[in-house]
């Protein structure tokens, strides 16, 4: 990783009127939550079309819950890592306007960010597919799958399955933020899940600087991204925040 790129990112953030972050599963890998794709990814074990598709949830929820129960256990054990804490500090310092996250683990809120758009919902809450009763994930027993509500209906997490629409409000606000920001930080996302993957393109074509942070290049790299910082989000983001704090006088010119 190059120190020059860290300074460049800190300078771009310091000089921008509006900075937003788009985060993906890579952001939470250092908190112990497996990503979907890549090495150690959930999809090495489960085919998404079978296990995370809304039609399967309706016809064979026990199958979906094999994947969902693994995710639920990991999420309930996890806490924010230095990458999450750095984005919370960026917001507190007045540099970060919002986070659009594809993650369903709630770790940005837990780290202290207030303006978080949860594009794919939140796995820390579930609800009954019959009566709509809402329930905290820690109260959902995973002893027999699928878990049931007291009314006999099947419980599901409050996340967006493949085949389901993105909540209208999240989609509208995300597009608005992508269009109006001067800098978009794109952190730990493989750029493969639509429509979230279109947001960096919206930002770039509206004139924003798109700074990509990932352990490996993606289809954004060299095209949609203005520049790419290779490395773990839990290592790069703290360095950018430290530079912003220590060099603030030198970054605005
Ligand atoms: P993805 O799993 O498709 O890709 C993860 C990306 O993170 C990859 O590009 C990988 O190179 C990168 N990465 C891995 N470790 C990293 C690190 N330490 N620092 C920086 N980058 C790192 O993730 P996605 O693009 O977010 O899309 C998958 C979908 O899966 C999302 O829509 C989300 O809903 C869901 N998901 C969420 C969680 C979670 O909430 N933590 C976990 C798994 C999947
Ligand atoms: Zn019910």
φ, ψ of residue 117 to 5 degrees: the values are -100, 115
Pocket test for ligand 1, best of 29, 31, 35 (most atoms within 8 A of CB): 35
* CB atoms closer than 10 angstroms to residue 94: 8
CA–CA gap between residue 39 and residue 30 (Å, rounded)? 14
* 3 alpha carbon – ligand 1 mean position (Å): 25
The minimum-distance atom of ligand 1 relative to the CA of 33 is 41
Residue for token digits 């079309």? 49
- Residue 148 to residues 3, 51, 76, 94, 160: CA-CA distances in angstroms? 52, 18, 19, 44, 19
Give the confidence band of 62 by pLDDT, cuts at 50, 70, 90: very high
Residue nearest to atom 15 of ligand 1 (CA): 26
Architecture of domain 34-77+124-159 in this structure? 2-Layer Sandwich (3.30)
> Per residue in 190-216, pLDDT tens?
988 889 999 999 999 999 999 999 999
Question: Which of 36-40, 103-107, 140-144 is predicted with the least confidence, judged by mean pLDDT?
Answer: 36-40
Nearest to 168 by CA among 117, 113, 215, 133: 117
Burial class of residue 246 (count of CB atoms within 10 Å of its CB; 0-12, 13-18, 19+): exposed
Q: How many CA atoms lie within 13 A of 154 on its CB side?
A: 14
> Per residue in 140-183, pLDDT tens?
999 999 999 999 999 999 999 999 999 999 999 999 999 999 99
CA–CA gap between residue 40 and residue 50 (Å, rounded)? 19
> Per residue in 73-91, pLDDT tens?
999 999 999 999 999 999 9
- Judge whether residue 53 has pLDDT over 70: yes
Give the confidence band of 250 by pLDDT, cuts at 50, 70, 90: confident
- 120: annotated active-site residue: yes
- Residue 117 to residues 20, 120, 126, 204, 214: CA-CA distances in angstroms? 11, 9, 18, 20, 21
- Judge whether residue 249 has pLDDT over 90: no
In the set 84, 109, 120, 123, the catalytic residue is 120
- Domain 1-33+80-120+166-253 class in CATH: alpha beta
Q: Which two tokens stand for residue 67?
A: 């994947």
Ligand 1 pocket by C-beta < 6 Å: which residues? Answer: 24-26, 28-30, 33, 35-38, 41, 102-105, 120, 188-190, 192-193, 214-216, 218, 232-233
What residue spans define the domains of the chain? 1-33+80-120+166-253, 34-77+124-159
- Residue 111 to residues 16, 49, 123, 170: CA-CA distances in angstroms? 23, 32, 16, 20
Common-topology check for domains 1-33+80-120+166-253 and 34-77+124-159:
no
């Amino acid at each position: 990783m190059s120190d020059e790129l860290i300074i460049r990112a800190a300078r771009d953030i310091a000089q921008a009127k509006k900075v937003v972050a788009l985060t993906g599963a890579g952001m939470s890998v250092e908190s112990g939550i497996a990503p979907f794709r890549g090495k150690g990814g959930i999809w090495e074990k489960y085919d998404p079309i079978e296990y995370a598709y809304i039609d399967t949830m309706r016809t064979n929820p026990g199958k979906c819950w094999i994947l969902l129960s693994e995710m639920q256990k990991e999420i309930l054990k996890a806490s924010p890592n230095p990458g999450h804490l750095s984005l919370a500090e960026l917001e507190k310092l007045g540099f970060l306007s919002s986070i659009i996250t594809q993650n369903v683990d709630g770790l940005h809120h837990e780290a202290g960010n207030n303006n978080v758009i949860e594009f794919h919902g939140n796995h820390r809450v579930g609800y009954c597919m019959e009566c709509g009763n809402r329930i905290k994930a820690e109260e959902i027993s995973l002893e027999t799958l699928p878990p049931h509500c007291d009314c006999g209906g099947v419980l599901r997490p409050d996340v967006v399955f493949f085949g389901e629409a993105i909540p209208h409000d999240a989609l509208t606000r995300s597009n608005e933020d992508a269009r109006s920001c001067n800098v978009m930080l794109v952190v730990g996302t493989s750029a493969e899940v639509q429509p979230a993957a279109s947001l960096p393109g919206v930002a770039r074509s509206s004139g924003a600087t798109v700074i990509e942070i990932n352990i490996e290049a993606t289809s954004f790299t060299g095209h949609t991204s203005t520049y790419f910082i290779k490395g773990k989000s839990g290592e790069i983001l703290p360095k950018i925040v430290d530079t912003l704090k220590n060099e603030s006088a030198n970054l605005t010119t």
